[in-house]
Structure 1
Amino acid sequence: MSITLVSDVRLAIRNVRRGGWQSATVVLILGVALGVVTAVFSIAHAVLLVPLPVDDSDGVVLLWGRDDARSQQVVEVSLRDQRAWIAAQRSFTAIELFGSVNWGELQVSGPGQPFRAVRSAVSSGYFDVLGARPLMGRTFREADDRPGARPTVVLSEGIWRQNFSSDPDILGRLLTVGAGSTVTAVEVIGVMPREFRVPAGAQVWVALGPELGEADDVRAMYAIARLAPGATVERGVAELSTIARNEELKGGNLTTSMVVVATPLMAYLLGPSRPALMAIAGASTALLLIACTNAAALLLVQGAARRREIAVRLAIGARRRQIVRQLFAESAVLSLIAGALGVALAYVSFDAIRALAPVDVPRLDEATIDGRSLLVALGLCMGTAVIVGLFPAWRHSGAAPLVALLDRSRSATSGSSSTRVRKVLVAAQLAAVVVLLTAAGLFIEASRHYSISISASTRRAC
């Protein structure tokens, strides 16, 4: 069996080389499509499929308000709101706060080379709600989160590696923050692991209390909460909405329609990037199907020129399964060469493809062409070989030897059949084009919503 397989592969390689420009065209068509699918998979895997570094992320929700009476779709949360919610609800084991947008940059002027880092202000139990554990040191305690407390900071792994050369003695070091009369000493208390990116874009985390001081009525945060065992999001939202309306009435807002909105953590982090990536994945799949259809059509044309060769082999005793196996081996060789080309194209163009995505797509910088991507590419090659090669191989091996040897008879009897095959291939291509155009439309719509959401966040930050 192994000798037969080696013989088939050797003959397939010779026939592919004899195919000349037709073989090269098939390789190029499939290679480009496989490269696109491989790159898109690598990005989608990093953004959508890699689990969050959060314990039981399904039980974590983000909370903010909505007041239709004042046409406010997003009402952020204050420290006063948080205290009222915690005191009167039973559906969440903890409710913590973090800035609804990252609060500018932390300007570090020493020791060492000055740098800037995007900061996120969080309450003391923020990391505990997420179940996120530091790579080194600790996260915030209640004493760190009180107004007037000594400023502390938790670094991301990227900042620790890039600006402190992964110094293991970073814990306890005092950083000089600010410039001129606003210089402050901030103590490094911990370093978060590389995969922790909540909220997106944050490079350092500071305690919320010292940032706000006594201004407990400033609504500039979102709440993040973990459901209690047996509780439901609906019941928790109903409880918090009642509390929120009562607090508004106490504050003199008699026309309030305040309700609390809950959003799953994953939905918040991905935002509109999920439908955009799904649309891109659909478009790349449609592109691969179109490429497979075109390649199959080319192999049918190429196989038609070999009908006499196949007829001779059948006439001298070759079995149909042997012919199918040989022709399928040729399509497999073409697919493997195309796969190698596709991986090379994906690797070379990957940085450019990532640069086309919006900068706020979470974990985009973690996407890479790795071993998993190569396995997917190999699987796609095998699937492509089946799609591209099996039908042409089965069709050409089924020709009657006598009819195939007689050119006049062949043209007279196979014309209608060939026409039907071409119509099927054209219909398949049109269906794939419809899918491709639909996915492109979904991508444009998702990108538009993404831009709107970013603009809204920027206005709130200002």
Structure 2
Amino acid sequence: MLRAIWEGVRNVVRPRAAQRDAQQEIDAFYEAAIADKKARGMTENEARRQVRLENGSADLVRDAVFESRWEDRVESVRRDVAFAGRILARNFGLSVIAVVTLALAIGSTTAVYSVVEGVLLRPFPFTQQDRLLMVWQKGEDGKNSNVGFATFDDWRKLNHSFSYMGAVSFWTPTLVSDAGAENLSGFRVSAGMFDMLGVRMRVGRDFTKEEDIRGQGTSVILGYALWQSRFGGDPAVVGKSVQLGSKVYTVVGVLPENMPSVFSFDPRKEADIYSPLAYDTSLEYACRTCQHLRVLGRLRDGVTEKQALAEMDQISKSLVQQYPTEYAASGVLFTELHEYVVGNVRPVLLLLFGAVALVLLIACVNVSNLLLSLALKRRREFALRASLGAGSRRLVRQMLTEALSLACVGSALGFGLAWAILRAVLKAGGTSLPRMHDVHLDAGVLAFTIFVCVASALIFGLLPAFHARKADPVDALNEGTRATTSGGRLRLKNALVASNVAISLVLLIAAGLMTKSFVRLTRVNPGLSSKGVLTVRVSLWGQKYQKDPAVVSFYDEVLRRISAVPGVESVGLTSQLPLGGNLDRYGVHAVDKPRANPENDPSADRYSISPEYFRALLIPLLQGREFTNEDDRTESQKVMVISETFAKTVWPGEDPIGKQLRVGGMDSPIRTVVGVVGDVLHKGLDAEHTMQMYIPHSQFTDSDVVLVVRAKGVEPAAIGGDVRRAITAVDAQQPIGAEMTMAEVVRASVARQRFSALLFAAFALCGALMAAVGIYGVVSYAVVQRTQEIGIRIAMGAPAGSVFALILKKGMQPALLGLMAGLPAAFAISQLLASLLFKVKANDAVTYAAMTIAVIAVALLACIVPARRATHVNAVTAIRTE
């Protein structure tokens, strides 16, 4: 067997030498047989004749020997590929169009699949991922709600369904080193969290239970990126000390590079650092109503999600009975961890993949049409092959080889194009998707490209192949050199064109709906003016800023210095920047409208601001007054400004000025409403208006704030350096965080919608262009095939206009049939888009009409050129054409 394999490989690599060796062996056999006959008394001629009669021609023997070997099949395939290359090179223009079409379609499909595979299909590097659940407290509205530590502590002690249950809270420490101070993004997590997930540390270990005790949580685990950037990837970092703010921590571990950011309140953002949660119920912020924790649990083996939910619901009911004023509702909700991270982007990614699959289908139909045209031109060749003994299977194999050759070249170019498309996707807003760091053109994506290559070759190659198989050799040979097209062939080509038009219409309508939705989203008034505004984050650290008066004094001086910068019109600060991704909600209790259970009172977004904040963002004052530096200080009367929605919700039909309420617990100080401002969209431009309240920064102090600077007469980015110098002039040791214009913040808030709209539009335009090429090709081919008929019509006196109308009519017929088929398909597909649209109906008549007219216009343009060419046919030349 090994000798046969080796000889076969040698014969494939050196076919001429193999043929020569075989010929010499056969010749030697024949000469020996002839010599044997001569030894028996035959003459030379008689001996040779007898050997040939007994064994056949030496050439036939050689061919039979080679056909019995596996390498002959390889050689046959090689000959097919070589012949396919000659045929495609002879029809170079057609081949280039087919390859470019396939490269565009396969490249787009591969790029989108790599995103789908990396974001949706690739499992997390966790043990038994399907048993990991996010556990939520059910809110009054029946939706997911964060959990207070006291509630989590009871869940952890009372449940028997989870082998592990841990909590996570957000943490923003300041790393202090010789290189300066730097704000980090981190989390506090329960001990054993990473071991439970099955995460193997790059260096070091997970937190222990002893470290997860209040007063003992001075250990940290570094994220891989921070370990590389600030510690040079030093494996000896474990055991070293790092200063976070005014406190010293010890590094106990480093996470691996592929650790997904599953704890984040925004799963797109990676965490820099982790510390133990280290809570107990004596902490002020560890109460049941302080719902700032997210809980992750692992189901015990043998316990189903349904059983766990039943037990947790029962625990929740008992807690509500035990603490009736601490809960607005009873019940628990589960979300699979993978769904929690990627659930929001699953619909749009699957729809994008469907859209690019339709583009690939259009490309296959176009290439099939091109190969069908080529097959019609080669009818005499196929007839001669059949007459010489080639079977139908042999013809089909040759046609499929040509199709696969085109697909292979297109796929190779498409794989390179996919790399470029992925880079463009990231620039167009792809970073708004979670898990984008898991998106790579790896072996799995290459395997998908190969699969698409073979599948597309079969799709667009089988139709021309079977058409060639069914060709009648007698009819084909009798045609001479005349190029005729039967009604059946023309109907087949028209059917392909109609399918192209239908698919293009579906894509264009989907893209039109998404684009219209995005345009309407960008026209939403966020309740503020983003033009000419610069935002800068500042987070204080150090022992001298442990007290609120020192923090207030620092920011008062910073605001004073920035206001003196040339080009600054106004400057303010806020604890939470609208559309910035941060949120802080508190329960509000109206003094004049008490409820039996305070937990049933509404909650509102809380902003801690400076007096100039409203003017910096041009948030309109509707009633009352704004804050002032003179009247609203730490020792002054506790006041607040509320939003319009807040006023209408709590005091409908009443004047809210002078009303009093408590923020947070029932023991919090009473605050008086002194003003009402317009609503601001905080969560997103597509979100509903929420209740919002504003409290003077001197009365509700945050050390981590965003400065909002309105520029006048200059670009906001131009004053960034002066703003930073004003901050460092007050205290050079304080880190200055991200600097963005407010316009960039607004654009970032709609990055995902922009990403979806751009890709849908790009794929739809690509599909429409391919459909136009398909229509143009069919009509042009029909004009060539009917040249003699057109010449006779012109010779008989038919005006150019009638010839033009005839060709135009024939070309538009399949396009109109495609429209009739595409409209109901588009209506069905658009229903899937309904959840992604903003203030646009899935059956929006204007979009349907506009896209239908666009497709008709594209079809007309594709028909006009060949139709005009038909009117210039020379009658004499056409009639003489055979």
Deviates more, 1:320-329 or 1:402-411: 402-411
- Listed one character per residue, the Cα deviations across residues 105-140 of structure 1 (whole Å, up to 9, x for unaligned) are 433232557544321221223223323232211111
Of 329, 338, 341, the match for 1:266: 338
Task: Quote the offset at 1:89 in angstroms.
Answer: 2.2
Cα 1:133/1:371, change in 2 over 3 Å:
closer
Structure 1 partner of 2:488: 417
User: What secondary structure does 1:41 align onto?
Assistant: helix
Asked if structure 2 preserves the Cα contact closer than 8 Å seen for 1:299 and 1:389, the reply is yes
Cα 1:53/1:64, change in 2 over 3 Å:
same
Asked if structure 2 preserves the Cα contact closer than 8 Å seen for 1:279 and 1:440, the reply is no
Of 344, 347, 352, the match for 2:416: 344
1:98 and 2:98 matched: no
Whole-Å separation in 2 of the counterparts to 1:397 and 1:230: 59
Task: Quote the offset at 1:167 in angstroms.
Answer: 0.5
User: What secondary structure does 2:184 align onto?
Assistant: strand
Of 201, 219, 224, the match for 1:152: 219
Cα 1:83/1:442, change in 2 over 3 Å:
farther
Cα 1:443/1:417, change in 2 over 3 Å:
same
Whole-Å separation in 2 of the counterparts to 1:307 and 1:260: 71
Whole-Å separation in 2 of the counterparts to 1:96 and 1:73: 21
Paired residues in the alignment total: 448
Of 93, 105, 112, the match for 1:21: 93
Task: Quote the offset at 1:440 in angstroms.
Answer: 6.0
Structure 1 partner of 2:252: 189
Task: Quote the offset at 1:377 in angstroms.
Answer: 1.4
User: What secondary structure does 1:148 align onto?
Assistant: coil
Structure 1 partner of 2:202: 135
1:164 counterpart letter in structure 2: F
Whole-Å separation in 1 of the counterparts to 2:517 and 2:444: 28
Asked if structure 2 preserves the Cα contact closer than 8 Å seen for 1:92 and 1:228, the reply is yes
Structure 2 partner of 1:227: 299
Structure 1 stretches of 5 or more lacking a match?
none
Cα 1:286/1:38, change in 2 over 3 Å:
same
Structure 2 partner of 1:206: 275
Cα 1:238/1:406, change in 2 over 3 Å:
same
User: What secondary structure does 1:109 align onto?
Assistant: strand
Cα 1:263/1:444, change in 2 over 3 Å:
farther
Deviates more, 1:416-425 or 1:312-321: 312-321
Whole-Å separation in 2 of the counterparts to 1:447 and 1:238: 42
2:372 counterpart letter in structure 1: L
Structure 2 partner of 1:372: 444
The 5 A counterparts of 1:421-440 are 421-429=492-500, 432-433=503-504, 436=507
Task: Quote the offset at 1:411 in angstroms.
Answer: 7.0
Asked if structure 1 preserves the Cα contact closer than 8 Å seen for 2:84 and 2:402, the reply is yes
Cα 1:210/1:86, change in 2 over 3 Å:
closer
Task: Quote the offset at 1:436 in angstroms.
Answer: 4.6
Cα 1:329/1:114, change in 2 over 3 Å:
farther
Structure with larger Rg = 2
Structure 2 partner of 1:161: 228
Task: Quote the offset at 1:80 in angstroms.
Answer: 0.5
1:362 and 2:425 matched: no
1:429 counterpart letter in structure 2: N
Structure 2 partner of 1:172: 239
User: What secondary structure does 2:160 align onto?
Assistant: coil
Cα 1:51/1:457, change in 2 over 3 Å:
same
The 5 A counterparts of 1:9-408 are 9-68=81-140, 71=141, 73-99=143-169, 102-103=170-171, 105-112=172-179, 115-178=182-245, 183-197=246-260, 198-199=262-263, 200=267, 201-209=270-278, 214=283, 215-217=285-287, 218-253=290-325, 256-407=328-479
- Listed one character per residue, the Cα deviations across residues 250-296 of structure 1 (whole Å, up to 9, x for unaligned) are 44429843211111111112121222222222222221111101110
2:236 counterpart letter in structure 1: D
Cα 1:455/1:230, change in 2 over 3 Å:
farther
Whole-Å separation in 2 of the counterparts to 1:18 and 1:409: 18
Whole-Å separation in 2 of the counterparts to 1:38 and 1:460: 41
Whole-Å separation in 2 of the counterparts to 1:369 and 1:279: 21
Deviates more, 1:271-280 or 1:211-220: 211-220
Asked if structure 1 preserves the Cα contact closer than 8 Å seen for 2:188 and 2:277, the reply is yes
Whole-Å separation in 2 of the counterparts to 1:444 and 1:266: 29
Cα 1:55/1:447, change in 2 over 3 Å:
farther
Q: Sequence identity of aligned pairs in percent?
A: 29
The TM-score normalised by the length of structure 2 is 0.47
Whole-Å separation in 2 of the counterparts to 1:81 and 1:428: 59
Task: Quote the offset at 1:246 in angstroms.
Answer: 3.6
1:185 counterpart letter in structure 2: V
- Listed one character per residue, the Cα deviations across residues 312-331 of structure 1 (whole Å, up to 9, x for unaligned) are 33344443333322222221
Deviates more, 1:354-363 or 1:387-396: 354-363
Whole-Å separation in 1 of the counterparts to 2:434 and 2:396: 47
Superposed CA RMSD in Å reads 3.2
Task: Quote the offset at 1:230 in angstroms.
Answer: 2.8
Task: Quote the offset at 1:341 in angstroms.
Answer: 1.0
Asked if structure 2 preserves the Cα contact closer than 8 Å seen for 1:98 and 1:126, the reply is no
- Listed one character per residue, the Cα deviations across residues 44-63 of structure 1 (whole Å, up to 9, x for unaligned) are 22222222122112111111
1:298 counterpart letter in structure 2: L
Deviates more, 1:40-49 or 1:305-314: 305-314
1:459 and 2:583 matched: yes
User: What secondary structure does 2:143 align onto?
Assistant: strand
Asked if structure 2 preserves the Cα contact closer than 8 Å seen for 1:30 and 1:338, the reply is yes
Task: Quote the offset at 1:189 in angstroms.
Answer: 0.9
Asked if structure 1 preserves the Cα contact closer than 8 Å seen for 2:84 and 2:398, the reply is yes
Asked if structure 2 preserves the Cα contact closer than 8 Å seen for 1:78 and 1:220, the reply is yes
Asked if structure 2 preserves the Cα contact closer than 8 Å seen for 1:96 and 1:129, the reply is no
Cα 1:65/1:112, change in 2 over 3 Å:
same
Whole-Å separation in 2 of the counterparts to 1:176 and 1:392: 72
User: What secondary structure does 1:304 align onto?
Assistant: helix
Asked if structure 2 preserves the Cα contact closer than 8 Å seen for 1:404 and 1:410, the reply is no
User: What secondary structure does 1:169 align onto?
Assistant: helix
1:134 counterpart letter in structure 2: M
Asked if structure 2 preserves the Cα contact closer than 8 Å seen for 1:311 and 1:401, the reply is yes
Task: Quote the offset at 1:177 in angstroms.
Answer: 2.1
Whole-Å separation in 1 of the counterparts to 2:87 and 2:487: 28
2:275 counterpart letter in structure 1: V
Q: Which has the higher contact order (CA 8 A, sep 6+)?
A: 1
Task: Quote the offset at 1:439 in angstroms.
Answer: 7.4
Structure 2 stretches of 5 or more lacking a match?
1-72, 523-577, 586-605, 607-882
Whole-Å separation in 1 of the counterparts to 2:204 and 2:282: 25
Asked if structure 1 preserves the Cα contact closer than 8 Å seen for 2:383 and 2:474, the reply is yes
Structure 1 partner of 2:659: none
User: What secondary structure does 1:359 align onto?
Assistant: helix
Whole-Å separation in 2 of the counterparts to 1:278 and 1:17: 38
Task: Quote the offset at 1:423 in angstroms.
Answer: 4.1
User: What secondary structure does 2:286 align onto?
Assistant: coil
- Listed one character per residue, the Cα deviations across residues 404-429 of structure 1 (whole Å, up to 9, x for unaligned) are 234499877x5221133124324543
